[in-house]
Chain A
Amino acid sequence: MRPFEYARALDGPDAVARFRPGTMYLGGGTNLVDLMRLGVAEPDHLVDVSRLPFDRVEASDGGLRIGAAVRNSDLAAHPLVRERYPMLARALLAGASGQVRNMATVAGNLLQRTRCPYFQDVTKACNKRVPGSGCPAIPGDHRNHAIIGHSEACVAVHPSDMAVALAALEARVHVTGPDGDRVVPIPGLHRLPGTEPHRDTVLEPGELITTVELPSPPAGSSQYRKVRERASFAFALVSVAAVLDVGGDGTVRGCRLALGGVAHVPWRAERAERALLGAPATEEEFVRAADAELDQARPLPRNGYKVPLSRNLIVRTLRELTP
């Protein structure tokens, strides 16, 4: 780790005022400290925002306002989340370990970086870490990498479980920054890699997430399902967040689908959703919808398994959500 200065911000404006080039905001530290120790992140100044007063979960306008500094475990255990957004609770509980969830903040979870092994090793090239240096994952080992939306510059995936649920719930992120406040929707916060994989999100330097706002929960039942190599404490190979609302006539009235582990962003499966709207809630239609989404998949030589895995997972989850 390179030496750095540390300051604890008093409130949001104080944090933003302390921001200058070389500054990074520190939340729970579960990813940033990890990356600093690896030399991947080398801030000159750390502004600690983990104790800012963004630490409440409150009902509002039929939805929920979640402070950016709320810890993942507290959010998962919150009665309003468990009751009204069970899919979000499930996604949170599927992530990391009890210890990490106790430390990690909501904003930090959204802004965590990919666990691509090349990204995490400073002795190797990586366009996300050093723009223009190349992407060794493409010729190398990419079994855990993207099948959708990747570019020649980057095939990394976003590692968060929570963000997948938030994408399906159409959460909005409230941001404050040097140029004022704004609201960014999820999806929309995270970027596809394109030619600038070093930019994970649309946030500008100095911008700080203060609140994650959830609209009222979508109608229907929901589930978060994650596939991983071991039974717990592992990143997703593929995950799905699904909401399904089936009418009395057996047709799909509403559907939200988002995938984790397949793209540089929590992937909202809009094509599948469109294919399902108004269609009968049957296995055949679920397969058709999954295929509509996965037609655009461009698996790499060694991660082709993610296509049938995603398809099976979508179909399975929708089937389980069908009344």
Chain B
Amino acid sequence: MAEITVRVNGTEHSLIVDTRLSLLDLLRERLGLTGSKKGCDHGQCGACTVLIDGRRSNACLALAVTCDGLDVTTVEGLGDGDGGLHPLQAAFIEHDAFQCGYCTPGQLCSAAGMLTEPGPSAVTEDLMEDPPLTPAEIRERMSGNLCRCGAYVNIVTAIEGVRR
């Protein structure tokens, strides 16, 4: 067991945790923040994606104990805090960028993190540029978030609308 303090969506939580507890299970089972989803528990699907200190990360691969002192944003904290939606959330609704909705919180957090990430991707021609987020760039950068319903076409459209 270990004592940690984590800031989640702006609220500080001090807890005693089993060292085996993942950040994902901390959020879901201890804090009741079930927006972050468990799809594989091994970093292979992206459904658990949250922002840790602003960087998109797989919450299933982070032990809660390693998050002591860190700042976590989940899908519940993406909006403005008064029920207003993040532009990505609104775009996902507008473009029907989800079906079952289970990968959606991870897609949203991943997209939010992706929009702030500098540098090229695997499909960028010129490594020295920070390329515009074309559909090809978005597809590559969002490939850590699987969607079995096959909503990718609309997900890319939704994100494309936000980055503009």
Interface residues of chain A, those whose CB is within 8 Å of chain B, are 1, 3-6, 8, 26, 28-30, 33-34, 36-38, 46, 48, 50, 73, 76-77, 79, 82-83, 86, 89-90, 93-94, 96-100, 102-103, 231-233
Contact = CB atoms under 8 A, between A and B. Distances in A.
Interface string B138-150: 0111111100000
Bin chain B's interface residue count.
Answer: 35 or more
Nearest to A234: B143
Contact of A37 (B42, B118, B139): B42
A36 B118 CA distance: 32
B96 interface: no
Given A4-B19, A46-B19, A94 B61 contact: no
A34 B22 CA distance: 11
Contacts of A97: 43, 46, 143-145
Contacts of A89: 120, 127
Given A33-B62, A34-B42, A99-B49, 17 more contacts: A3-B20, A4-B19, A4-B20, A8-B68, A26-B66, A33-B63, A37-B42, A76-B119, A76-B120, A77-B118, A82-B119, A82-B120, A90-B127, A96-B144, A99-B46, A102-B113, A231-B139
Interface string B43-83: 10010010000011110111101101000000000000000
Contacts of A29: 61-63, 66
A238 B63 CA distance: 32
B144 A48 contact: no
A82 B43 contact: no
A93 B63 contact: no
B19 to A, nearest CB: 4
A79 B22 CA distance: 33
A243 to B, nearest CB: 15
Interface in B4-47: 18-20, 22, 41-43, 46
Interface of B: 2, 18-20, 22, 41-43, 46, 49, 55-58, 60-63, 65-66, 68, 110, 113-114, 117-122, 124, 127-128, 139-145
Most chain A CB inside 10 Å of its own CB: which residue of B58, B60, B110, B120: B58
Contacts of B141: 98
A86 B139 CA distance: 22
Contact of B56 (A37, A99, A232): A99
A24 B140 CA distance: 33
Contacts of A6: 2, 19, 63, 65-66
Contacts of B113: 98-99, 102
Q: Among B55, B65, B66, find the residue whose CB has the most chain A CB atoms closer than 10 A.
A: B66
Contact of A103 (B18, B58, B117): B58
Nearest to B20: A1
Contact of A83 (B55, B62, B68, B128): B128
A79 B20 CA distance: 37
B22 A98 contact: no
6 closest Cβ contacts across the A-B interface? A97-B144, A77-B119, A232-B143, A93-B122, A1-B20, A6-B19
A209 B1 CA distance: 28
Nearest to A2: B20
A4 B55 CA distance: 27
A214 B65 CA distance: 33
Nearest to A73: B117
B22 A103 contact: no
Contact of B57 (A4, A46, A94, A102): A102
Contact of A93 (B22, B46, B120): B120
A94 B139 CA distance: 14
Contacts of A99: 43, 46, 49, 56-58, 110, 113, 144
A36 B55 CA distance: 24
